[in-house]
């Protein structure tokens, strides 16, 4: 992945974390609760006020209309003239309720006369048909219904303006009257109320957000300090402690964290002391063993040279002493190398190497030319530590020869990735492969695949040293079984390990161990990768004295 794309991905992840933070969720929850409560209260208040305002206006208008209709039409004849109806309508509309009136009756000639105070607003077309039908309907008179005609009303909009329309017919004979009253004032009052309630809801929402922010700051600040302290503790700052104030749950959590950190620090210091002592013991033991081993090795080589002249009864014992001395020498060298890795003192000494030549030299030094097939192009250059690369190759190829059998095929390829160029070295044998239950442990130190065979020719450290040498280059080794049979070990190293070398190319050379024995990964035993001759400590990958 390119650097800009990685930056964008980190930005998106950071944004998602911010949008899903506890502070934001707390503010959102407070805001939703306040919004729900404010909207509910505002809705109920608006609905109650609306009904109250409209009912009060309607009841006052209906009462006045009923009274005016009875009083203003009482003096009219049974069949009034149109002029008389218009005069009565004007008198009814002049009341304090400010509504328009329509009166309708038959004159003496049987002609229907309609009188209205506003012909454009109130006429038979604007009065709903359903209302007219209800007003004109005669109902049977009985104990539950004392009058044949009743007063009816309904609300409607005329040209997008709200109006209240009512109508009634006089009982006992007389004109039919309708009234229409504008509700614009009431709507304006209700709109003002709605705006007021909306502003109050908004203020409640803002207030809840501020309250949530204050609560989040009060509650989350100790949590943030706890998170920061936990990260520092995870980074190795074991002396990290929290300042404890108060007696609430957060203070108790801080005290618990401090106690845990203190116990962890004590435990880590104890383990570090034990580990350092153990590592020092192994290093000292290995160092002290090298001097007598050098003398013993010289003696055993003299005995090996004189083996043909020895008594046949003594010769097997001499061969056993020679073999075990070499094995012990390899074990000491490997233990010293492991100690350097554990102590973090192993360093790279880089050089430009032709990988194919390096593999060929490794194979030739150990007389493996007839058992190993090399598939590599000349000229594949890499900047690596040649001695450590030789250690890796010797262990991988020797392990394949011992446990997989020849022919062993070594292939070298390069791979271009976004993070640089890589070198791939595959070592494949044609043996039975690695058991599935053993695969996760092939690089473990002293691992034996079979508990019934705890003793082996090798030290059991070869593959673990090989993978440590790969890690110090910034690479790694993987083990798997091939679909065509046999095991495959894949070494992956950067073609330029300069950025991992302490002190650059000319940095100080650290104490380098050999680790020349391939590990006992599959059969439960390791085998020393023998060069053609052995003189002194061996002419394979050399070990330096521990300084």
pTM for this entry: 0.46
472 close to 388: Cβ distance less than 8 angstroms: yes
The residue among 385, 518, 368 whose CA lies nearest residue 442 is: 518
Contact between residue 367 and residue 531 where contact means Cβ atoms under 8 Å apart: yes
Asked if residues 399 and 364 have their Cβ atoms less than 8 Å apart, the reply is no
At 239, give phi and psi (nearest 5°).
Answer: -90, 10
CA distances from 104 to 87, 92, 128, 155, 484 (A): 12, 14, 15, 21, 109
Angstrom distance (rounded) from CA 408 to CA 427 = 7
How far is the C-alpha of 355 from the C-alpha of 375, rounded, in Å?
11
**Which residues, other chains included, contact 53 with Cβ-Cβ below 8 Å and sequence gap of 6+?**
186, 189, 190
- How far apart CA 289 and CA 31 sit, in angstroms, is 75
Q: How far apart are CA 446 and CA 460, in angstroms?
A: 4
Q: Rounded CA gap, 444 and 448, in Å?
A: 9
pLDDT tens per residue across all 547 residues of the chain: 555 555 555 554 444 445 556 677 777 887 888 888 888 888 898 888 888 888 888 888 888 888 888 888 777 777 788 888 888 888 888 888 888 889 888 877 778 888 888 888 888 888 888 888 888 888 888 888 888 888 888 888 887 888 889 998 887 777 888 999 888 888 888 888 889 888 888 888 888 888 877 877 777 777 788 888 888 888 888 888 888 887 878 788 888 988 998 898 898 888 888 877 777 776 777 677 777 877 887 877 777 777 677 777 777 887 788 788 777 777 777 777 777 777 677 788 888 989 889 999 998 888 888 888 888 888 889 899 999 899 899 989 988 888 877 788 899 998 888 878 899 999 998 888 888 888 888 888 777 655 444 445 556 778 888 888 888 888 999 998 888 888 899 999 998 888 776 544 333 343 444 444 444 344 333 333 343 333 333 333 333 333 2
Give the whole-angstrom CA distance, residue 260 versus residue 272.
Answer: 18
d(CA 469, CA 447): 18
Nearest residue to 65 via CA among 180, 143, 211, 183:
180
CB 151 within 8 A of CB 131: no
Q: At 138, phi and psi to the nearest 5? A: -95, 130
Q: State how far the alpha carbon of 513 is from the alpha carbons of 205, 359, 463, in Å.
A: 71, 19, 14
The C-alpha atoms of residue 425 and residue 410 are separated, in whole angstroms, by 7
Query: How many CA atoms within 13 Å lie on the side-chain side of 42?
Result: 22
How far, in Å, CA of 147 to CA of 151, rounded? Answer: 11
């Amino acid at each position: 992945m390119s650097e800009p794309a990685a930056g964008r991905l980190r930005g998106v992840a950071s944004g998602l974390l911010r949008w899903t933070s506890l502070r934001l969720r707390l503010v959102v929850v407070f805001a939703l609760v306040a919004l729900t409560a404010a909207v509910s209260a505002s809705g109920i208040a608006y609905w109650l006020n609306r009904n109250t305002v409209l009912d009060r206006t309607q009841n006052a208008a209906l009462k006045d209309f009923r009274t005016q209709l009875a009083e203003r039409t009482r003096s009219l004849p049974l069949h009034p003239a149109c002029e008389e109806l218009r005069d009565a309508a004007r008198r009814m509309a002049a009341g304090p309720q400010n509504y328009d009136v329509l009166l309708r009756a038959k004159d003496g000639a049987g002609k229907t006369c309609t009188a209205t105070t506003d012909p454009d607003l109130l006429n038979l077309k604007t009065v709903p048909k359903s209302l007219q039908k209800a007003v004109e309907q005669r109902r049977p008179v009985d104990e539950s219904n004392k009058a044949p005609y009743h007063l009816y009303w309904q609300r409607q909009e005329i040209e997008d303006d709200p109006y209240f329309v009512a109508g009634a017919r006089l009982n006992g004979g007389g004109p039919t009257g309708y009234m229409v009253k504008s509700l614009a004032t009431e709507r304006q009052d209700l709109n003002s109320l709605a705006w007021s309630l909306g502003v109050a809801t908004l203020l409640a929402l803002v207030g809840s957000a501020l309250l949530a922010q204050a609560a989040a700051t009060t509650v989350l600040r100790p949590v943030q300090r706890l998170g920061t302290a936990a990260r520092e503790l995870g980074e190795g700052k074991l002396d990290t402690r929290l300042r404890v104030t108060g007696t609430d749950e957060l203070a108790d959590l801080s005290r618990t964290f401090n106690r845990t950190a203190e116990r962890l620090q004590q435990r880590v210091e104890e383990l570090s002391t034990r580990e350092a002592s153990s590592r020092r013991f192994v290093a000292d033991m290995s160092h002290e063993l090298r001097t007598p081993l050098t003398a013993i090795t010289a003696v055993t080589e003299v005995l090996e040279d004189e083996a043909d002249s020895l008594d046949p009864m003594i010769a097997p014992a001499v061969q056993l002493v020679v073999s075990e001395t070499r094995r012990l020498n390899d074990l000491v060298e490997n233990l010293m190398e492991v100690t350097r890795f554990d102590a973090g003192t192993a360093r790279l000494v880089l050089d430009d190497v032709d990988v194919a030549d390096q593999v060929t030299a490794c194979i030739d030094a150990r007389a493996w030319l007839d058992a190993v097939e090399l598939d590599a192009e000349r000229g594949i250059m890499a900047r690596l530590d040649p001695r450590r690369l030789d250690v890796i190759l010797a262990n991988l190829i020797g392990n394949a020869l011992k446990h997989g059998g020849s022919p062993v095929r070594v292939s070298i390829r390069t791979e271009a990735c976004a993070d640089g160029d890589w070198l791939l070295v595959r070592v494949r044998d044609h043996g039975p492969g690695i058991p599935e239950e053993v695969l996760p442990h092939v690089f473990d130190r002293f691992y034996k695949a079979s508990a019934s065979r705890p003793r082996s020719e090798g030290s059991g450290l070869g593959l673990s040293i090989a993978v440590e040498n790969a890690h110090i280059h910034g690479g790694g080794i993987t083990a798997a079984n091939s679909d065509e049979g046999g095991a495959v070990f894949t070494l992956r190293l950067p073609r330029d390990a300069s950025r991992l070398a302490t002190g650059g190319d000319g940095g100080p050379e650290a104490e380098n161990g050999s680790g020349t024995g391939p590990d006992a990964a599959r059969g439960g035993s390791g085998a020393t990768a023998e060069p053609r001759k052995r003189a002194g400590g061996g002419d394979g990958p050399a070990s330096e004295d521990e300084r």
